Structure 1
Amino acid sequence: MTIFTAPEVIGHRGAGRGNVDGNVENTPESFRAAVDSGASWIEIDVRRTADDHLVLRHDEMLEDGRTIADLPVADLRDDGAITLEEAVGAIPPNIGLDIDVKTVMEDATDPEARRTMTLLLPVLRREARHRRMFVCSFDPAALLRLHREAPEIPTAWMPFVRNPLDQAVAGAAGLGCAIVAIDARSFGLTGEPARPGRREVDYTVGVAHRAGLEIVSWCPSPTDAARFADAGMDAVVVDDVPGVIEALKER
């Protein structure tokens, strides 16, 4: 299964994390800004609420300290959150969808019907029929469940920040994922001193490809995105869509 036409640009939470030129992350306005800047994919963050809705939020808490999983969707709307259904309706079907699943601790103990992946599966199955899509998560259990129940939907394992490249690639392959999604800092950023024992980007990409994985990096700068593309990376999830598009054109 080939997912990307390398190198592809994925807008991180839309046009980028936080507020980019007045476009707040994980909102329709941010999605439109990313698409208008040239992104061919949009990445969104999905969490469940206390009343079993799915909303777009990266962090587990609001700024006032209240936890997303403890709040009903009405309270989150007051804080500006949109639902997953609203999000997919706002992203054109020709734009790929990267869904970052943020599971919660209570998924370990709540009834099956309330768990994040249970709520998400119907939307994934529907959207996979008419758009390019993959599901990523830090949580291997979420990905393994998706492999069992909807094996047609590609998955990406996201190791944690600065996770060693060796475990990232081997772990994604062992989980049966189609993609490994690695923090840009794990590769070493432009200008940083070399780290003894760290594999070169092109070597890491080559091993991932030989393992049957496509490889994505999240949050590289335009300079590093172009460097990763030169090494054969398949896609980058970025906060500066226009800057990365320009850097790739200049390669």
Structure 2
Amino acid sequence: MIFTPTEVIGHRGAGRGTVGGVLENTPASFAAAAAAGASWVEVDVRRSADDVLLVHHDAALPDGRPVVDLPAAESRAAGLATLDEAIEAVPPHIGLDVDVKTVMEDAVDAPARRTMALLLPHLRRHARSRPLFVCSFDPAALLAVRREAPEVATAWMPFVRNPLDQAVAGAAGLGCQAVAIDARSFGLAGDAPRPGRRSVGYTVDLAHRAGLQVLSWCPSPVDSARFADAGMDALVVDDVPGVVAALRERPFSR
């Protein structure tokens, strides 16, 4: 088990973009998420041209330069932190959701230079001292963790609005411990019913019977409370204090 339901994971730290004056995927954002009540933070990890692991969501810097094409010093000059700097800012009792951003170049570069090869030593080290799991859109990254660091839990993250049936069956087939699903795949509060789409409760129950925990990205406080009522295990959110308050105020949370 990765989570004790229902846990809050700060998306890119305190939330995407700039939240409370701090920019996403920075040490300040990770510290702010923990201070706001998140029990985990999501950290986006990708590699530089000189094989340094950096924390950044998008493939390119705001000026359009791909991170994988640049020496780490250039990306750091643009404000990116290294993975080590990011983890140092996260209190040791706060879990790490490591979102692996593999790159096209991983298909052809020397195996020792590929994103997962660079990341595995960090995973093994930190898994001994704090809660940690790996998520990724890339099934190959999750299979590499299962093969090379089986002590580290994994969660498959199907793409935006991915159908629920494929998400749950795919994560089970990959041997993951969890599945991370876009909130829009479940249907947001106020959405019209979609023929054939299973309810949140049905999906969570079936996933649990398959041995999977379920987390969702990025529900609002209203949807977070609804998902928690359905038994969801964790929520990756942009509004950490809002979701923490919504979960606390649920009638069944006491």
Matched, 1:242 2:241: yes
Equivalent residue number for residue 144 of structure 1: 143
Equivalent residue number for residue 38 of structure 1: 37
Q: Summarize the alignment of residues 63-74 of structure 1 with structure 2, pairs less than 5 Å apart.
A: 63-74=62-73
Give the aligned residue type for 1:159: P
Equivalent residue number for residue 207 of structure 1: 206
Give the aligned residue type for 2:28: E
Q: Give the match's secondary structure for 2:207.
A: helix
1:162-184 CA-partner distances (Å, limit 9, x unpaired): 00000000000000000000000
Q: Give the match's secondary structure for 2:208.
A: helix
1:218-237 CA-partner distances (Å, limit 9, x unpaired): 10000000000000000000
Equivalent residue number for residue 90 of structure 2: 91
Q: TM-score, normalised by structure 1?
A: 0.99
Q: 2:31–2:91: 8 Å Cα contact kept in structure 1? A: no
How far did 1:90 drift? 1.0
Q: Distance in 1 between matches of 2:146 and 2:2?
A: 16
Q: Distance in 2 between matches of 1:96 and 1:63?
A: 28
Equivalent residue number for residue 188 of structure 2: 189
How far did 1:158 drift? 0.3
Q: Distance in 2 between matches of 1:67 and 1:31?
A: 24
Q: Give the match's secondary structure for 1:42.
A: strand
Q: Distance in 1 between matches of 2:34 and 2:152?
A: 23
How far did 1:33 drift? 1.2
How far did 1:138 drift? 0.3
Equivalent residue number for residue 106 of structure 1: 105
Q: Give the match's secondary structure for 2:81.
A: coil
How far did 1:104 drift? 0.2
Equivalent residue number for residue 132 of structure 1: 131
Q: Distance in 2 between matches of 1:245 and 1:142?
A: 31
Q: Give the match's secondary structure for 1:98.
A: strand
Once the two structures are overlaid, the 10-residue window that deviates more, 99-108 or 24-33, is 24-33
Count of aligned residue pairs for this structure pair: 250
Equivalent residue number for residue 232 of structure 1: 231
Give the aligned residue type for 2:186: F
Equivalent residue number for residue 216 of structure 1: 215
Equivalent residue number for residue 171 of structure 2: 172
Give the aligned residue type for 2:133: F
How far did 1:14 drift? 0.6
Give the aligned residue type for 2:10: G
Q: TM-score, normalised by structure 2?
A: 0.98
Q: Distance in 2 between matches of 1:88 and 1:241?
A: 19
Q: Distance in 1 between matches of 2:87 and 2:35?
A: 17
* Cα root mean square deviation, aligned: 0.5
Give the aligned residue type for 1:44: V
Equivalent residue number for residue 159 of structure 2: 160
Q: 2:8–2:39: 8 Å Cα contact kept in structure 1? A: yes
Q: Distance in 2 between matches of 1:241 and 1:86?
A: 22
1:179-238 CA-partner distances (Å, limit 9, x unpaired): 000000000000111111110000000000000000000100000000000000000000
1:99-129 CA-partner distances (Å, limit 9, x unpaired): 0000000101100110000000000000000
How far did 1:58 drift? 0.1
- Percent identity of the aligned residues? 72
Q: Distance in 1 between matches of 2:196 and 2:135?
A: 27
Q: Distance in 2 between matches of 1:246 and 1:106?
A: 42
Equivalent residue number for residue 13 of structure 1: 12
Q: Give the match's secondary structure for 1:145.
A: helix
1:37-65 CA-partner distances (Å, limit 9, x unpaired): 10000001000000000000000011111
Q: Give the match's secondary structure for 1:182.
A: strand
